[in-house]
Amino acid sequence: LQKLIHLLQATDDPLIQEQALITLSNSAAFSVNQDIIRNLDGLSVIGGMLSNCVPKVKEKALNALNNLSMNIKNQEEIQVFITQVCRTVESAPLNSDVQLAGLRLLTNMSVISDYHQKMINSIPCFLYLLSEGTERTQIQVLKVLVNLSANPTMTRHLLRAQV
């Protein structure tokens, strides 16, 4: 895992970055690896890939963070990327793999209410995706909106959102 994280930092080759992210994402299926990746500063390295201009790399970084977000301690570190993930969802092509990967991560990060405030500005986007997206996109957006709606402090923001 350490070598993968270093490889991710050292290369500019999108194919190598994509493969390293896939491997890290698969490794995150095991809780012990989730802790190891966090302790090796892997979350910030993977999060750094969110600004990559290659859509496949960005998608794989979102997938890796999604798998790593199943751990509360990891969520505490991943939460710093929520605003960037929201912007990625908003700017990605409609129904794209990048958009869906971002929505899946936001779904996991919104299961508990700790980070809901960071998603408020994206509520109009979520409602737009609900009306314009494909069924896959709509289902993923609904999961985020259901999580947000479980928080009473979000009611006002959800009902006042301009669509």
Residue whose token pair is 């500063």: 41
Domain boundaries, the chain: 1-79, 80-162
pLDDT value at residue 96: 98
Q: What is the DSSP letter of 161?
A: -
Secondary element (H or E) of residue 105: helix 97-109
**What is the C-alpha to C-alpha distance for residues 112 and 72, in angstroms, rounded to an integer?**
10
Helices (H), 1-96: 2-10, 14-27, 31-39, 42-48, 55-68, 72-78, 82-91
Domain 1-79: CATH superfamily is Leucine-rich Repeat Variant (1.25.10.10)
Once rounded to an integer, what is the mean pLDDT over residues 47-59? 97
Measured between its terminal Cα atoms, the distance across the chain in Å is 43
- Cβ–Cβ contacts within 10 Å for residue 80, how many? 13
In percent, the amount of the chain with pLDDT more than 90 equals 98
pLDDT digits (tens, 9 = 90+) for 62-74: 999 999 999 999 9
pLDDT digits (tens, 9 = 90+) for 7-48: 999 999 999 999 999 999 999 989 999 999 999 999 999 999
